[in-house]
Amino acid sequence: MDSKGEKPEKLALVMDERVCCDTIFRAVRLAPKQYVVYDLLVLNGTRVHDVLTFSQRQQRIAELLELFHHPDLVALTTIEDAPIGCHVRGYEQYDDVPGSIGVFVEHLPDTK
């Protein structure tokens, strides 16, 4: 869905059956059939966003994509593996509190 929760878009994905349809990723489209998986909300029916930190969720996303995703129809990638120079979501800063979301900042954290 788009950022307003409207306009659902169907994606034809090739995923192993161990990642069932009750898994919800937050993703950003880079191209018609290429997405960056930005966050993990629900995994196999369990809401993991509230119990894992952002870095733990990123690690889980990387593991899931490596083990279970086949980019034959639609390619999913992690933030870390996004193409160099790709401006995905602006600049977001995260803390280590489970369930927290990113906070928009105007500049990269290391710049002025």
How do 75-78 and 34-43 pair as beta strands?
A: parallel
Enumerate the domain spans of the chain: 14-105
110 or 37, greater pLDDT: 37
Report the C-alpha gap between 41 and 50 in whole angstroms: 8
pLDDT of residue 50: 92
29 or 85, greater pLDDT: 29
pLDDT of residue 13: 79
* % residues pLDDT > 70 (the chain): 83
Q: What is the pLDDT of residues 3-52, one digit of tens each?
A: 677 777 777 777 777 777 788 888 888 888 888 888 899 998 999 999 99
pLDDT of residue 86: 67
Contact 81, 30 (CB under 8 A): no
